[in-house]
A and B are shown apart, each in its own frame.
Chain A
């Protein structure tokens, strides 16, 4: 298990380097000069030259990359071109809401998806199974924004049950919880499909194994066979496959945040890119990538911990 974790960690190093390099190159290809931007519109040529020296912009590219890494290590991601706020400060304010949204979505969609998938496997070949399959293929085909707009139209606008713009406050307040509901239903809604599909496949795979045949031969009821013998053994592949879908969830989160004006990193990133705020765009892309790498690493280690066979390896 230690070796497995170490291997994944080693793989994460070039990925991490790639992310940082892309972030660095992002600032190189743009036509605007960061020193001019930082100095402001009325700055003198001397001031710009001084800032240029301070930022190390007169040094060779490789040295600049080193300086960039050094500043990054100190948590300096530059300043927004649009509103002059430090990028780190904006990121700090948006990471929480994004995590909140993603966790709230997973909180209901994973159990429901596993339930539906198991139901489909249990009643395989029947109408119920076909229903589950239909839900899951529809779930992987519906645009996130469409689901969001439908919920806004009915639940938010027509019936006026729940708010649909912005975040009402921390999740432990009633307003916060109410404002989280629709975005979390939207994002979770597109996650139920993949989870139920993977669960059904994983459970069906296990159902064809020897120990299940033994359990059946013992005279156990089909319900016990599926729940105790198949689902339990299918949990390892299910967890792995859910882990692999985190990128899909992240994409959905960016769209969901935009639809519901949820103050998260994804919406910040989109706003920064469409308004050419490159320092902010760079910061959000770096943070989203790092978050994604970290989650993948956690899933990998978790997977090894879940599967006893992996521990020996």
Chain B
């Protein structure tokens, strides 16, 4: 039994206040919360079923009675479609960041912790993965698995792994030089426990900032892949796929394409602004 005295970075008071000092960031934060809630509670908030169609209402413009955002070409209520589309797009981004970010972070920690043996091979792998833009992962994986959400989530995850690995490794290398790591090691603590208890918590701010910024990028990329027909397949509601469907009716009913496009734009913008503000508040030196 040993008691480890560890000097953790003191919890910074008033993160929320510092974050919201910038009015833009405050608006972004509120918007992100609202969007997350809307996505989570979409089945309860939606006035109709997402697949309910009423062809007599086909392409009804926004403001039609009972259809505040209008209807799409199939006569489906766009409020419902928007809520479910948000849900699908955010879920896609969430799984991609969790999966790719998780693997990337693990690789980053291992590279920094076992610098002697693992750093070089892991970083070479990261370099090689960085040699491919996300769109190529998207195309290749969609070609192998066939178009669909699993292909897009996998592609976005793979594209996230090397980026997260680099960020975490950089942050972990700094922490590794701290005295408390040496102290913890001296107590005979096992490697994995040391990483989990002392290395990882001190890299969290870098990890969190990057995950927030990446979430926006991943949604932008994923919706583009869906727009191309490589992701969510109609009639499933997903913002990029909805914009793609609406594109066919652009000249008769522009709102069908514009509503999901504006939603993507707003969500990505909010996550980017929030990520920038988080970075400034948590770690001004960190540039992603």
Provided the pairs A15-B131, A251-B134 are in contact, do residues A273 and B272 lie with their beta carbons within 8 angstroms? no
Contacts of B147 in A (CB 8 A): 273-274
**Is B142 an interface position by the 8 A CB rule?**
yes
Which B residues form the contact surface with A (CB < 8 A)? Answer: 124, 127-128, 131-136, 138-140, 142-144, 146-147, 216, 220-221, 223-224, 227-230, 240, 243-244, 247, 250-251, 254, 257-258, 261-262, 264-265, 268-269, 272-273, 276, 287
Contact B229 A274 (CB under 8 A): yes
**Is A157 an interface position by the 8 A CB rule?**
yes
Q: List CB contacts (< 8 Å) of A125-144 with chain B.
A: 137-138, 140-144
Contact B229 A270 (CB under 8 A): yes
Q: List 5 A-B contacts (CB under 8 A).
A: A22-B140, A26-B144, A149-B257, A282-B143, A288-B139
User: Which among B139, B146, B257 has the highest number of chain A CB atoms within 10 Å?
Assistant: B139
> Of the candidates A11, A137, A248, A254, which one forms a contact with B272 in the assembled complex, judged by CB atoms under 8 Å apart?
A137
Contact A201 B287 (CB under 8 A): yes
**Is A146 an interface position by the 8 A CB rule?**
yes
**Is A296 an interface position by the 8 A CB rule?**
yes
Contact A273 B133 (CB under 8 A): no
Contacts of A201 in B (CB 8 A): 287
Provided the pairs A137-B269, A149-B247, A270-B230 are in contact, do residues A250 and B144 lie with their beta carbons within 8 angstroms? no
Provided the pairs A137-B269, A153-B254 are in contact, do residues A247 and B287 lie with their beta carbons within 8 angstroms? no
Which applies to chain B's interface (DSSP): helix, strand, loop or mixed?
helix
Which applies to chain A's interface (DSSP): helix, strand, loop or mixed?
helix
Contact A270 B228 (CB under 8 A): yes
CA distance A22 to B227 in the complex (A): 24
Provided the pairs A137-B273, A251-B221, A255-B228 are in contact, do residues A142 and B265 lie with their beta carbons within 8 angstroms? yes
Contact A255 B227 (CB under 8 A): yes
Residue of A nearest to B140 (CB): A285
Residue of A nearest to B224 (CB): A255
> Of the candidates A25, A144, A282, A296, which one forms a contact with B224 in the assembled complex, judged by CB atoms under 8 Å apart?
A144
For chain A, which range describes its interface: under 10, 10 to 19, 20 to 34, or 35 or more residues? 35 or more
User: Which among A138, A274, A293 has the highest number of chain B CB atoms within 10 Å?
Assistant: A274
Contact B135 A254 (CB under 8 A): yes
Contact B265 A14 (CB under 8 A): no
CA distance A274 to B183 in the complex (A): 57
Q: In the complex, what's the smallest C-beta–C-beta distance from A136 to chain B, in angstroms?
A: 10
**Is A258 an interface position by the 8 A CB rule?**
yes
Provided the pairs A248-B133, A292-B133 are in contact, do residues A270 and B261 lie with their beta carbons within 8 angstroms? no
Contacts of B133 in A (CB 8 A): 246-248, 250-251, 292
Contacts of B139 in A (CB 8 A): 254, 269-270, 273, 281, 284-285, 288
Q: In the complex, what's the smallest C-beta–C-beta distance from B97 to chain A, in angstroms?
A: 17
Contacts of B257 in A (CB 8 A): 149
Per-residue CB contact flags for chain A residues 104-144 toward chain B (1 = under 8 Å, else 0) read 00000000000000000000000000000000011011111
Residue of B nearest to A259 (CB): B247
Contact A141 B268 (CB under 8 A): yes
**Is A18 an interface position by the 8 A CB rule?**
yes
> Of the candidates B258, B262, B272, which one forms a contact with A140 in the assembled complex, judged by CB atoms under 8 Å apart?
B272
**Is A217 an interface position by the 8 A CB rule?**
no
Contact B230 A145 (CB under 8 A): no
Contact B243 A146 (CB under 8 A): yes
CA distance A12 to B216 in the complex (A): 30
CA distance A146 to B140 in the complex (A): 24
The 8 tightest CB contacts between A and B, nearest first, are: A247-B133, A251-B135, A146-B261, A141-B269, A141-B268, A281-B143, A15-B131, A274-B229
User: Which among B124, B127, B140 has the highest number of chain A CB atoms within 10 Å?
Assistant: B140
Per-residue CB contact flags for chain A residues 292-305 toward chain B (1 = under 8 Å, else 0) read 11001000000000
Q: List CB contacts (< 8 Å) of A267-313 with chain B.
A: 269-270, 272-274, 276, 278, 281-282, 284-285, 288-289, 292-293, 296
CA distance A276 to B244 in the complex (A): 19
Contact B135 A250 (CB under 8 A): yes
**Is A209 an interface position by the 8 A CB rule?**
no
CA distance A96 to B138 in the complex (A): 23
